[in-house]
Amino acid sequence: MVKSMTTVDDKSVDYSVAGEQCIIVLGGTDQTKIHNGNVICESQSRVRTTLKFKARVLVFNIDIPITKGFPIDLHYQTVNEPAVISRLISTHSKSNGQVIKAKPRCLTKNQVALIEIKCERAILFRTVQRQQVSGRITCRYGGNTIAAGMVIEIT
């Protein structure tokens, strides 16, 4: 429950819009469950979160092929979460987007692929169809960016 909300210059406000910075005092919540990227909403109109989603990604110059079960650090907006590539759905042509191979065994450098990612914790995602900028993700492994792409479908 929101107890109070103030602007950064200590003026009490009833609401805040995107881009504004405010200080929110919460009651009845466990502070260990509050993370960067969380969304505060009314209990009657909760936002939908998910553990799995499909993304179209471009694999960068990598040394190790990406396979099913490959662990990644998922970066989405302000969220940085451990995740796993749970399914390799298909590879696609860079030029026209047509499917080259369904159910590939692995992904190597410079391939475009449709993959399914499973997160350890439920996250609020937006698809690129709903909002172009917010649907972008980055996949990292061992401190290196290995792929980047867009959220296509929330499963």
Q: What's the whole-model pTM score?
A: 0.76
How high is the mean pLDDT of the chain? 87
Task: Report the pLDDT averaged over residues 94-99.
Answer: 92
Give the model's confidence band at 85: pLDDT under 50 very low, under 70 low, under 90 confident, else very high: very high
Task: Identify the band that residue 5 occupies on the pLDDT scale cut at 50, 70 and 90.
Answer: confident
The CB density around residue 117, as the number of other CB atoms within 10 Å, is 26
- For 25-77, write each residue's pLDDT tens digit: 888 888 787 776 677 777 776 667 889 999 999 999 999 999 999 999 999 88
Q: Answer whether residue 86 shows pLDDT above 80.
A: yes
Distance CA 149, CA 152 (A): 9
Quote the CA–CA distance of 147 and 137 in Å, as a whole number. Answer: 9
State the first-to-last Cα distance of the chain, in angstroms, to the nearest integer. 29
pLDDT for res 53: 94
User: Is residue 10 pLDDT above 90, yes or no?
Assistant: no
What's the rounded Cα separation, in Å, for the pair 72 and 87?
A: 13
> What percent of the chain lies above the pLDDT cut of 70?
91
19 against 69, higher pLDDT:
69
What is the pLDDT, as a whole number, of residue 109? Answer: 94
- Give the pair of three-digit tokens for residue 30: 């466990």
DSSP state string for the chain: -EEEEEETTS-B-S---TT--EEEEE-S--GGG--TT-----GGGPPP-EEEEEEEEEE-S-SS-B-TTEEEEEEETTEEEEEEEEEEEEEE-TTT--EEEES-S-B-TT-EEEEEEEEEEEE----TTT-TTTTEEEEEETTEEEEEEEEEEE-
Burial class (CB in 10 A: 0-12, 13-18, 19+), 109: middle
Greatest Cα-to-Cα distance within the chain, rounded to the nearest angstrom: 58
Confidence of residue 15 (pLDDT cuts 50, 70, 90): confident
